[in-house]
Structure 1
Amino acid sequence: MYNYQSDVTQFIDNYIEQNPQEAEQRLKNRALLWDVELNPEEQADFEAAALPKPPYAYQSVK
């Protein structure tokens, strides 16, 4: 069975094991950036304000 772990992965695992408060802080920080509920009204405004995507720069326009 393939059980390789990089040095970085081993370091992070050991660090989290020795500092369990960091795992909790990591989850709190993740919630700030990624686990955010979007306001549907604001989201609709963002979509309405979006500009059309320009064509590929090297595509000839006919």
Structure 2
Amino acid sequence: MTGYVSEATRFLQDYLDNHPEQREVARQGRALWWDKPQDPETTAQFAAARVPTYPYYYDTSHPQLDPFRAEGYRPALPPRLAARVMERSAQTEHA
């Protein structure tokens, strides 16, 4: 007994039966984008460089995400402008 086969699946199977060259084209396309050799060392480096995500992605109240609240933050701005930015940041925290 065979299971249900949708019209779309039957169409694709019939098309591939009538156009066998398309299987090779599909295989080449897959090799172009997906089938790549994997390097364990590079994979380990990517895993080590992962940054943890927080429960709410757009929440900027975490010190790691808000540079003005992070310890040891040194703005890469001209000193006078950096002082004004820090003053505004302090004013908004106290408000």
**Long gaps (5+) in structure 2:** 57-95
Looking at structure 1, the residues matched to 4 and 39 of structure 2 have their Cα atoms a distance apart, in angstroms, of 43
Task: Indicate the RMSD between aligned Cα atoms, in angstroms.
Answer: 1.7
Letter in structure 1 aligned against 2:24: E
Following TM superposition, by how much is the alpha carbon of 1:53 offset from its aligned partner in structure 2, in angstroms?
2.5
Looking at structure 2, the residues matched to 2 and 45 of structure 1 have their Cα atoms a distance apart, in angstroms, of 48
Whichever of the two has the greater Rg, that structure is: 2
Aligned residue pairs: how many? Answer: 56
Following TM superposition, by how much is the alpha carbon of 1:45 offset from its aligned partner in structure 2, in angstroms?
2.1
The structure in which a higher percent of residues are helix is 1
TM-score, structure 2 length as denominator?
Answer: 0.50
Letter in structure 2 aligned against 1:9: T
The aligned counterpart of 1:46 is 46
The aligned counterpart of 1:21 is 21
Letter in structure 2 aligned against 1:7: E
State the Cα deviation string for residues 27-46 of structure 1 (Å, max 9, x = none). 12222233222122221221
